[in-house]
Structure 1
Amino acid sequence: MLDEKQEPTTSEEVNDDQKTEEVKADTKENTTDVDEVKVEEPTPEAEQTDDDSKAEESTNETQQAVDELEENVAEDSEDESATKRHEIPMLDYHSMSMENLVKEFGKLVKNEKIQAIKDHIDQIKTEFNQKYGELIEQKKEEFLADGGNIIDFRYTSTVKTDFNTVYGEYKDKRNAYYQNLEQNLKENLKKRLAIIEELKGLINVEENINDTYKHFKSLQDQWRYAGPIPRAEYNNVWKTYHHHIERFYDFLHLNRDLRDLDFKRNLEEKEHIIAQAEALADENDANTAFRKLQSLHKLWKEEVGPVAKELRDDIWERFSKATKVIHDKRQEYLKNIDAIYEQNLIRKNEIIAKINEVASEKVTSHNIWQKKIKEIESLRESFFNAGKVPLKVNEKTWAAFKEAVRSFNRNKNAFYKDLKKDQQVNLNKKLDLVKTAQANKDSEDFDMTTPLMKKIQSEWKRIGHVPRKHSDKIWKEFKDACNHYFDRLHASKNKASEQEVANLETKKAFLDKMKAIEFSGNKEEDLALVKQHIDEWKGIGRVPFNKKNIEDTFNKALDGIFKKLGLDPTEAELIKYSNKVSALSGSNDSRKIENERNFVRKKITDITGKMHQLENNLQFFANSNSDNPLVKDVHKNIEKHRQELEIWKAKLKHLREI
Structure 2
Amino acid sequence: MLEEKNDNLSRNENETDGNVENNAVDTNQSPTDNLEQSASTEITEEPAEDNVVNPEESNSTDAVETKNQNAVDAIADSNAEESEDETLKERHAIPMQDYDTLSLEELVDELSNLVSNEKVLSAKDHIEEIKKSFLAKYNHLLEEKKEEFLAENQDPNEDFQYHSPLKTNFDKYYSIFRDAKNTHFKSLQTNLKSNLENRLAIVEELKELIDPQANIKDTLKHFNDLRDRWKNAGPIPKDKYNHVWNNFHFHVENFYDYLHLDREARDLDFKHNLEQKQKIVARVEELVNEADINKAFRELQDLHRIWKEDIGPVSREHRDDIWNKFSELTKQMHDKREVLFENQRGTEQENLEKKKEIIAQIEVLATEKVNAHSQWLAQIEKVEALRTAFFSAGKVPSDVNEETWSAFKTAVRNFNSFKNSFYKDIKKDQNDNLSKKTALVAKAKELQESTDFATTTPIMKQIQEEWKQIGHVPRKYSDKIWKEFKDACNHYFEKLKEQKNEENSEEVEAFDNKKTYLETLREFQLIGEHKADLDAIKLHIETWKNFGKVPFPRRHIEGKFNKILDALFEKLNLSKKDTEMMRFSNRMDHLSESNDTRKLDNEKIFIMRKIEEVQNEIFQLENNIQFFTNTRNAKKENSIVLEVRKNIAIHKETLTVWKEKLKQLRNLNVE
With normalisation by structure 1, the TM-score equals: 0.62
- Correspondence for 2:452: 445
User: Aligned partners of 2:381, 2:479: CA distance in 1, in Å?
Assistant: 23
* CA RMSD, 1 decimal: 4.8
- Correspondence for 2:217: 210
Q: Percent identity, please.
A: 43
- Offset of 1:434 from its aligned partner? 4.8
1:75 and 2:81 correspond: yes
Q: Give 1:91's match in structure 2, choosing from 99, 103, 110.
A: 99
Report if the CA contact (8 A) 1:77-1:231 is conserved.
yes
What letter matches 1:328 in structure 2? Answer: D
**SS at 1:22 equivalent:** helix
What letter matches 2:244 in structure 1? Answer: V
1:496 and 2:517 correspond: no
User: Aligned partners of 1:41, 1:258: CA distance in 2, in Å?
Assistant: 24
**SS at 1:360 equivalent:** coil
- Correspondence for 2:297: 290
**CA distance 1:149–1:382, change in 2 (3 Å):** closer
Q: Give 1:313's match in structure 2, choosing from 314, 320, 336.
A: 320
What letter matches 1:60 in structure 2? Answer: T
Any gaps of 5 or more consecutive residues in structure 2?
Answer: 1-14, 56-60, 520-546, 555-591, 600-671
- Offset of 1:169 from its aligned partner? 4.2
User: Aligned partners of 1:231, 1:278: CA distance in 2, in Å?
Assistant: 30
Q: Give 1:120's match in structure 2, choosing from 118, 123, 130.
A: 130
- Correspondence for 2:666: none
**CA distance 1:280–1:32, change in 2 (3 Å):** farther
What letter matches 1:287 in structure 2? Answer: N
Q: Deviations over 1:56-95 (max 9, x none)?
A: 7982222222222222222333343446287343434895
**CA distance 1:157–1:345, change in 2 (3 Å):** closer
Q: Give 1:389's match in structure 2, choosing from 379, 387, 396.
A: 396
User: Aligned partners of 1:291, 1:75: CA distance in 2, in Å?
Assistant: 14
**CA distance 1:304–1:411, change in 2 (3 Å):** farther
User: Aligned partners of 1:378, 1:143: CA distance in 2, in Å?
Assistant: 28
- Correspondence for 1:461: 468
Q: Give 1:227's match in structure 2, choosing from 227, 234, 244.
A: 234
Larger mean CA deviation between 285-294 and 463-472 belongs to: 463-472
Report if the CA contact (8 A) 1:199-1:244 is conserved.
yes
Return the structure number with greater relative CO, CA threshold 8 A, min gap 6.
2
- Offset of 1:270 from its aligned partner? 1.0
What letter matches 1:22 in structure 2? Answer: E
Q: Deviations over 1:14-54 (max 9, x none)?
A: 89xx6973369xxxxxx994969856899xxxxxxxxxxxx
Q: Deviations over 1:270-327 (max 9, x none)?
A: 1111111111221234333322222211121122121223221111111011111112
User: Aligned partners of 2:322, 2:438: CA distance in 1, in Å?
Assistant: 89
User: Aligned partners of 1:5, 1:165: CA distance in 2, in Å?
Assistant: 46
Report if the CA contact (8 A) 1:286-1:330 is conserved.
yes
1:183 and 2:190 correspond: yes
- Correspondence for 2:36: 22
User: Aligned partners of 2:160, 2:396: CA distance in 1, in Å?
Assistant: 44
**SS at 1:364 equivalent:** coil
Report if the CA contact (8 A) 1:503-1:543 is conserved.
no
1:121-200 superposed matches below 5 A: 121-129=131-139, 131-132=141-142, 145=155, 149=157, 157=163, 159=165, 168-200=175-207
User: Aligned partners of 2:207, 2:485: CA distance in 1, in Å?
Assistant: 89
User: Aligned partners of 2:63, 2:266: CA distance in 1, in Å?
Assistant: 36
User: Aligned partners of 1:421, 1:499: CA distance in 2, in Å?
Assistant: 57
- Name the count of aligned residue pairs: 499
Larger mean CA deviation between 244-253 and 228-237 belongs to: 228-237
Q: Give 2:285's match in structure 1, choosing from 258, 269, 278.
A: 278
What letter matches 1:70 in structure 2? Answer: A
1:480 and 2:485 correspond: no
Report if the CA contact (8 A) 1:62-1:324 is conserved.
yes
**SS at 2:283 equivalent:** helix
What letter matches 2:70 in structure 1? Answer: Q
- Offset of 1:490 from its aligned partner? 5.0
Report if the CA contact (8 A) 1:497-1:544 is conserved.
yes
Q: Deviations over 1:133-163 (max 9, x none)?
A: 6656766887764xx845xx59685847666
**SS at 1:203 equivalent:** coil
Report if the CA contact (8 A) 1:501-1:543 is conserved.
yes
User: Aligned partners of 1:388, 1:128: CA distance in 2, in Å?
Assistant: 18
Q: Deviations over 1:458-482 (max 9, x none)?
A: 3222222465867986675465345
Larger mean CA deviation between 448-457 and 302-311 belongs to: 448-457
User: Aligned partners of 1:462, 1:451: CA distance in 2, in Å?
Assistant: 17
**SS at 2:506 equivalent:** coil
Q: Deviations over 1:562-608 (max 9, x none)?
A: xxxxxxxxxxxxxxxxxxxxxxx99767899xxxxxxxxxxxxxxxx
1:525-544 superposed matches below 5 A: 543=550
- Correspondence for 1:633: none
Q: Deviations over 1:193-218 (max 9, x none)?
A: 22222222222496443333233223
Q: Give 2:308's match in structure 1, choosing from 295, 301, 313.
A: 301
Larger mean CA deviation between 244-253 and 373-382 belongs to: 373-382
What letter matches 2:79 in structure 1? Answer: V
Report if the CA contact (8 A) 1:341-1:388 is conserved.
yes
- Correspondence for 2:664: none
